Amino acid sequence: MKTADLRAKTVDELEQGLLDLRKEQFNFRFQKSTGKIEDTSRIRKVRRDIAKVKTLLNEIKSGNKLVAKKKIKE
């Protein structure tokens, strides 16, 4: 999930997406414990997507805009 795509969504869509990601994470936890998980890298991606959505929701609720700093080559 790209951050630009997330910023285009409404708060309700973000909250629903967060709920879906948490359900997916829950299912991965069961698949991992039973040894039936095939794509283990997806667990990491889901965790990171959850973090992105939560960060964006907190940013919207607090009214602050986080600005990414660009690296300056010297």
List the domains of the chain with CATH numbers.
Answer: 3-62 (1.10.287)
Contact by Cβ (8 Å): 6, 53: yes
The confidence score (pLDDT) of residue 3 equals 86
The confidence score (pLDDT) of residue 66 equals 61
DSSP label of 9: S
Report the chain (74 residues): mean pLDDT per 10 consecutive residues. 88 95 95 89 95 94 67 55
Token couple for 36? 């039936």
The confidence score (pLDDT) of residue 21 equals 97
pTM of the model: 0.79
